[in-house]
Amino acid sequence: ALTTGNMAASSDRNPPPFPTAEESEPGLCDMADADSDEGEDIFVSNVGSRFGDTSNKLTCVFRFALSQSQKACIFFISQLTCIQEEEAKDSFDVDVAVTNPEKVGDGMNAYVAYKVSTRTSLPMFRSKVFSVRRRFSDFLGLYEKLSVKQSLHGCIIPLPPEKSVVGMTKVKVGMDDPSSVEFVERRRAALERYLQRVVSHPSLLQDPDVREFLEREDLPRAVNTQALSGAGFLKMINKASDAVNKMTIKMNESDTWFEDKFQEVENEEQQLRKLHVVVDSLVIHRKELCGNTAVFAKSLAMLGNSEDNTALSRALSQLAEVEDKMEQLHQEQAASDFFIFAELLGDYIRLLGAVRGCFDQRMRAWQRWQEAQSTLQKKREAEAKLLWANKPDKLQQAKEEITEWEARVTQYERDFDRIGMTVRKEVLRFEKEKAKDFKSQIIKYLEAMLQSQQRLIKFWEAFLPEAKAIA
Amino acid sequence: MSTEEVKETASVLSVHDDSIKVTEVLKEGDTLTFIIVSQKLSGTGEYHVDRTYEDFEWLQQHLFSQGDVPGIQGVIFPPLPAKPQVNASPRSIKQLGFLALGECQPYCKALETFLQQVAAHSILSKNKAVEVFLTSSDPPGRQKVKKNIFNRLSQAVEEMRKEGHKDVDEFFQNERDHNLILTGCTKTAAEKFLDVVATEQKIAVACGHFSTALHLCVEPGEDPDKQAFSRVCVKLSEVFESIKKNMTSVAENNVNTLGLGLDLESRYQEAEREMLFRRTCKLVELENAQRNVEKAKPVKKAAMEEVKKAAETEFEHTSGVAKQEIARFQGARVEMLQQALVGWCEKQLLTAKESADQFNQHLEVFRGMA
């Protein structure tokens, strides 16, 4: 088995791993694709949480979005992903990364292609390290294939990120402006989390479509992805749930586990939605704080310049620089709030929708079984009638049909039981992973906040003697 | 001293100027009453008086109307904060800036500073109104004071033109130019800082909401995985409560130190601007008088000469006082800003350290969680 991934410094990777706090490169994020895998290590440390770490690759995103004059991008959140989480209990058999977004084509037909890289020790793959290029619709296509498989019914199949006409239109126009940069990075990170969740699911990893997605050079273009925005999926789920509620034959659950769990899942989805709204507003305010801090810093610089008293002038100019640094801190905090919490909550809201989908699949399996039983019953009645009517050839056919339907009833009952077991297993696994996922994200967040505070302390400690030296 | 001499000398303030404190404010409906305490110069003991904003205005009017004090127009009058309102209109809040924030402490501090500066001023402290204001148990009279010489309420075009009038003294011309720039810069800095504080408060509120909302995710039950998640939610709620407290402290520190400092500096620059304008007006008066002398017919010449001499004297007195005031002001403002900056830095440093400790503690809790 592999050891954990390690973010080496590599300018090929896009977004690039980040300079340390001591470096202050003014480099812009390089959006050009460099295809060389030589010596490149792009895999996020994702040991521990089998649902995969939420990749917190912060990029120039917020920097561009907020202050073009920022010189140094200190993406300490990404540094946190460099800090290996030594939960060495489960080393990973498969590691995936989504990187190097690149615009292909021009105008309204343009799209973004991502590099999907895999590192694995499993023999079922063609090699140990390989990569392919995929576009967004490919990811949707993968989900579509997985979600209709009978064999995977009952499984919680992770959801790809949502389609966005607005976002993509901006990108088609140009990839350089701040909102496009932010959109692409957000999508890239979400696609990565999606794939990581897929490959950490034992059943999904075995699926040939997953393997093909990761390995095959030229993937046939996915069709029928219209319905498959995340919002579209949720609409589907909700419609199905309504259909289930309107079912004529009500299920009589001997075990209330399923009903109770379903209710819990619905409640939890509501709570997470509320949380998501609050986090969104928090992110907006933090971004606002960045802007205000930058403006304040400028006003201090002007004040310092206009000041006659040399010591005071110098102190004010220094203060302007401190405020500039604080703007950067605020940016990172905003990004932290966003990439850690907002996206985490968003992911889980959608995953809970997927969980509801599994319950729905179980209900439909039950329905199918019930309908088959009902059909069997009708066939038996028909046979009885034919016995009386004495039509030997029709009787033979009726007997054959009964046998067929008896087999079906048995099969559907087995399916229903199987799906029920799968759902139970999946839900338990999901809850374990959820607690772990949240916990590990919160730790990342706290580490980021702590670093923030420590840098803040340094700024203030450096400024204090300047302030004292004024008079 | 004989009683006659006592009557002729100006009033001497009987309290320590730096002991003056505005200790609390009482709200009765729409009226705000401020309690002012000051230490007696002689022996022990304090004066406790209660004053409304109108009383402050009364004091200010008296200070403005000292026409008999030579060179009074050259004084940089300590600025009185704008009128506070119990249910403040948006415009009033905007006008008050930092002083509108918090539970009145910034505003009380600003009033306190005003009184301390008046009491410490060599010329102004001699006015009897100051003694009456600080020591008399009865509210000072509310009668309208005679029209003061500082009505600059109407910024007529002519007035504005006077402001740009070229000076005869390089020192003053420089001071006027510099003051103009500095006034603008300071006001802008204060406004932008206020925006920063407002956003910090919004963040604190949002963190509070998040903290509360997390409690809704806590679920009862014995399922160990459910319990694990519930624990996570509870602990995260505590984290955000900490973040909220931290943000609130940061905002408070901002207001109480640098905020107040920038606010005072801004108002003081305005006060200096007004003084310089008054002196410029005197200059214009003098130059007009000089022209009148030259143009005057022999019959009127002597009278015009008298007028010119009076204007000259007044201008010289004003300029003399102004020069002293400017020197004092420049020293005082640097010291004031230094104190504000040092105080701000120290407070924020302390808050940041406390916050780092808290994050550390939270981190330990989470790492230790099963």
Q: B364 CB near a chain A CB, below 8 Å?
A: no
Nearest to B196 among A296, A438, A454 (CB): A296
Model confidence at A18: pLDDT above 60: no
Mean pLDDT confidence for B173-201: 94
Mean pLDDT confidence for B47-60: 90
Nearest-angstrom CA–CA distance, A351 and A190? 13
Cα separations in angstroms, A38 against A11, A35, A128, A130, B279:
11, 9, 14, 11, 77
Nearest-angstrom CA–CA distance, B62 and B150? 11
CB–CB of B232 and A306 under 8 A? no
DSSP β-ladder status, A111-120 and B31-39: unpaired
B225-280, pLDDT tens digit by residue?
Answer: 788 889 999 999 999 999 999 999 999 999 999 999 999 999 999 999 999 998 99
Give the distance from residue B246's alpha carbon to the nearest chain A alpha carbon, in angstroms: 11
What is the residue whose two structure tokens read 């959801």? Answer: A159
Residue A267: which residues within 8 A CB-CB, separation 6 or more? Answer: B219
Model confidence at B370: pLDDT above 80: no
Nearest-angstrom CA–CA distance, A212 and A217? 9
Residues of chain A with C-beta less than 8 angstroms from the C-beta of B239: 442, 446
A413-446, pLDDT tens digit by residue?
Answer: 999 999 999 999 999 999 988 998 899 889 989 9
> Can you tell me whether residue A224 is helix, strand or coil?
coil
Best B191, B212, B234, B236 member to test A by mutation, with max A CBs in 10 Å, is B236
Task: Give pLDDT, residue A115.
Answer: 93
**Long-range interactions of A301-308: CB distance < 8 A, separation 24+:** A302/B185, A302/B188, A302/B189, A303/B182, A303/B185, A303/B186, A303/B188, A303/B189, A306/B178, A306/B181, A306/B182, A306/B185, A307/B182, A308/B178, A308/B330
CB–CB of A434 and B229 under 8 A? yes
Beta-carbon contacts below 8 Å between A and B = 156
Give the pLDDT band (50/70/90) at residue A251.
low
Cα separations in angstroms, A126 against A1, A43, A134, A216:
16, 19, 18, 10
Residues 272 to 291 of A: which have CB under 8 A from any B CB? 272, 274-275, 278-279, 281-282, 285-286, 288-289
Residues 54 to 113 of A: which have CB under 8 A from any B CB? none
Cα separations in angstroms, A323 against A285, A459, B193:
17, 9, 11
Model confidence at A60: pLDDT above 90: no
What is the residue whose two structure tokens read 């990839």? Answer: A175
Contact (Cβ atoms closer than 8 angstroms) between residue A358 and residue A285: no
Nearest-angstrom CA–CA distance, B99 and B333? 19
Residues of chain A with C-beta less than 8 angstroms from the C-beta of B181: 306
Task: Give pLDDT, residue B128.
Answer: 87
Per DSSP, helices labelled H in A5-47 are: none
Residue B149 carries which DSSP code? Answer: S
Nearest-angstrom CA–CA distance, A403 and A234? 39
Mean pLDDT confidence for B337-358: 94
Residue A430: which residues within 8 A CB-CB, separation 6 or more? Answer: A156, A351, A355
**CA dihedral sign of residues B274, B275, B276, B282:** positive
Contact (Cβ atoms closer than 8 angstroms) between residue A358 and residue A201: no
Model confidence at B320: pLDDT above 50: yes
Task: Give pLDDT, residue A89.
Answer: 32
Residue B96: which residues within 8 A CB-CB, separation 6 or more? Answer: B81, B82, B84, B88, B107
Nearest-angstrom CA–CA distance, B207 and B194? 20
CB–CB of A268 and B181 under 8 A? no
A258-470: CATH superfamily: Arfaptin homology (AH) domain/BAR domain (1.20.1270.60)
Best B245, B337, B344, B347 member to test A by mutation, with max A CBs in 10 Å, is B337
Residue B179: which residues within 8 A CB-CB, separation 6 or more? Answer: B269, B272, B273, B276
Model confidence at A20: pLDDT above 90: no
Nearest-angstrom CA–CA distance, B321 and B272? 12
Task: Give pLDDT, residue A72.
Answer: 31
DSSP β-ladder status, A129-135 and B31-39: unpaired
Residues of chain A with C-beta less than 8 angstroms from the C-beta of B349: 457, 460-461, 464
Q: How far is CA A3 from the centre of its chain?
A: 23
Choose from A155-169, A181-195, A284-298, A373-387 the range with maximum mean pLDDT: A284-298
Task: Give pLDDT, residue A57.
Answer: 36
CB–CB of B355 and A453 under 8 A? yes
Contact (Cβ atoms closer than 8 angstroms) between residue A219 and residue A132: yes
What is the residue whose two structure tokens read 């606002």? Answer: A288
Nearest-angstrom CA–CA distance, A342 and A346? 6
Domain with CATH 1.20.1270.60 in chain A: 258-470
Tokens representing B134 are: 């600080």
Q: B206 CB near a chain A CB, below 8 Å?
A: yes
Residues 150 to 189 of B: which have CB under 8 A from any A CB? 178, 181-182, 185-186, 188-189
What is the DSSP code string of A262-290? HHHHHHHHHHHHHHHHHHHHHHHHHHHHH
Task: Look over chain A and give the mean of its residue pLDDT values, rounded to a whole number.
Answer: 76
Mean pLDDT confidence for B307-330: 92
**What's the count of helices (H) and strands (E) in chain A, helices before strands?**
12, 3
Cα separations in angstroms, A242 against A245, A357, B183, B366:
5, 12, 67, 40
Task: Give pLDDT, residue A185.
Answer: 85
> Can you tell me whether residue B141 is helix, strand or coil?
coil
Q: A301 CB near a chain B CB, below 8 Å?
A: no
Nearest to B359 among A267, A449, A468 (CB): A449
Which chain A residue shows the shortest CA-CA distance from B191? A296
Instruction: For A330-340, give one letter per residue: b (16+ CB within 10 A) or e.
Output: bbbbbbbbbbb
Give the pLDDT band (50/70/90) at residue B14.
confident
CA dihedral defined by A228, A231, A237, A239, rounded to 10 degrees? -110
Residues of chain A with C-beta less than 8 angstroms from the C-beta of B192: 292, 295-296, 298-299
Of residues B17 and A36, more confidently modeled: B17
**CA dihedral sign of residues B261, B264, B267, B270:** negative
Model confidence at B140: pLDDT above 90: no
Nearest-angstrom CA–CA distance, B138 and A383? 113
Residues of chain B with C-beta less than 8 angstroms from the C-beta of A443: 363, 366-367
Model confidence at B16: pLDDT above 60: yes
Tokens representing A357 are: 């989908």
Residue A339 carries which DSSP code? Answer: I
Nearest-angstrom CA–CA distance, B169 and A465? 38
Give the distance from residue B256's alpha carbon to the nearest chain A alpha carbon, in angstroms: 17
Mean pLDDT confidence for A41-47: 47
Task: Give pLDDT, residue A234.
Answer: 63
Choose from A209-218, A254-263, A388-397 the range with maximum mean pLDDT: A209-218
Which chain A residue shows the shortest CA-CA distance from B216? A271
Instruction: For A160-182, give one letter per residue: b (16+ CB within 10 A) or e.
Output: bbbbbeebbebbbeebeebebbb
Q: What is the ipTM of this complex?
A: 0.88
CB–CB of B199 and A438 under 8 A? no
Q: A471 CB near a chain B CB, below 8 Å?
A: yes
Give the pLDDT band (50/70/90) at residue A30.
very low
Residues of chain A with C-beta less than 8 angstroms from the C-beta of B225: 428, 431-432, 434-435
Residues 225 to 264 of A: which have CB under 8 A from any B CB? 264
Nearest-angstrom CA–CA distance, A241 and A238? 5
Task: Tell me the one-letter amino acid at B248.
Answer: T
Give the distance from residue A433's alpha carbon to the nearest chain B alpha carbon, in angstroms: 9
Task: Give pLDDT, residue A61.
Answer: 38
Of residues A142 and A244, more confidently modeled: A142
Best B175, B181, B186, B192 member to test A by mutation, with max A CBs in 10 Å, is B192
Element (H, E) at A118: strand A111-120
Residues of chain A with C-beta less than 8 angstroms from the C-beta of B182: 303, 306-307
CB–CB of B192 and A442 under 8 A? no
Model confidence at A407: pLDDT above 70: yes
Q: B195 CB near a chain A CB, below 8 Å?
A: yes
Model confidence at A52: pLDDT above 50: no
Give the distance from residue A300's alpha carbon to the nearest chain B alpha carbon, in angstroms: 6
Nearest to B225 among A279, A435, A464 (CB): A435
Domain with CATH 3.30.1520.10 in chain A: 92-219
Which chain A residue shows the shortest CA-CA distance from B367? A443
Residue A19 carries which DSSP code? Answer: -
Architecture of A92-219 per CATH? 2-Layer Sandwich (3.30)
Mean pLDDT confidence for B35-56: 88
CB–CB of B232 and A442 under 8 A? yes
Give the pLDDT band (50/70/90) at residue B174.
very high
Beta strands of chain B (E only): which ranges? 21-28, 31-39, 46-52
Residues of chain A with C-beta less than 8 angstroms from the C-beta of B335: 471
Give the distance from residue B54's alpha carbon to the nearest chain A alpha carbon, in angstroms: 34
Residues 153 to 212 of A: which have CB under 8 A from any B CB? none
Q: B348 CB near a chain A CB, below 8 Å?
A: yes
**Long-range interactions of A424-427: CB distance < 8 A, separation 24+:** A424/A257, A426/A154, A426/A155, A426/A156, A426/A355, A426/A358, A427/A156, A427/A261, A427/A265, A427/A355, A427/A358
Tokens representing A18 are: 């980040």
Cα separations in angstroms, A198 against A95, A157, A193, A266:
11, 7, 9, 23
Nearest-angstrom CA–CA distance, B229 and B50? 57
Contact (Cβ atoms closer than 8 angstroms) between residue B241 and residue B212: no
Cα separations in angstroms, A175 against A139, A277, A287:
21, 28, 21
Task: Give pLDDT, residue A33.
Answer: 32
Mean pLDDT confidence for A389-401: 83
A311-361, pLDDT tens digit by residue?
Answer: 899 999 999 999 999 888 888 888 877 778 889 999 999 999 999 989 988
Instruction: For A400-409, give one letter per residue: b (16+ CB within 10 A) or e.
Output: ebeeebeebb
B67-117, pLDDT tens digit by residue?
Answer: 788 888 899 999 999 888 777 777 777 788 888 877 778 899 999 999 999
Mean pLDDT confidence for A186-205: 90
DSSP β-ladder status, A111-120 and A94-104: antiparallel
Residues of chain B with C-beta less than 8 angstroms from the C-beta of A457: 349, 352-353, 356
Q: B342 CB near a chain A CB, below 8 Å?
A: yes
Give the distance from residue B314's alpha carbon to the nearest chain A alpha carbon, in angstroms: 30
Residues 238 to 257 of B: which have CB under 8 A from any A CB? 239, 243
Tokens representing B70 are: 């030579």
Nearest-angstrom CA–CA distance, A335 and A342? 10
Mean pLDDT confidence for A19-38: 33
Nearest-angstrom CA–CA distance, A50 and A431? 12
CB–CB of A454 and B356 under 8 A? yes
Task: Look over chain B and give the mean of its residue pLDDT values, rounded to a whole number.
Answer: 86
Best A86, A453, A454, A470 member to test B by mutation, with max B CBs in 10 Å, is A453
As a whole-number percent, the residues of chain A with pLDDT over 90 amount to: 34
DSSP β-ladder status, A129-135 and B46-52: unpaired
As a whole-number percent, the residues of chain A with pLDDT over 70 amount to: 74
CB–CB of A271 and B216 under 8 A? yes
CB–CB of A460 and B219 under 8 A? no
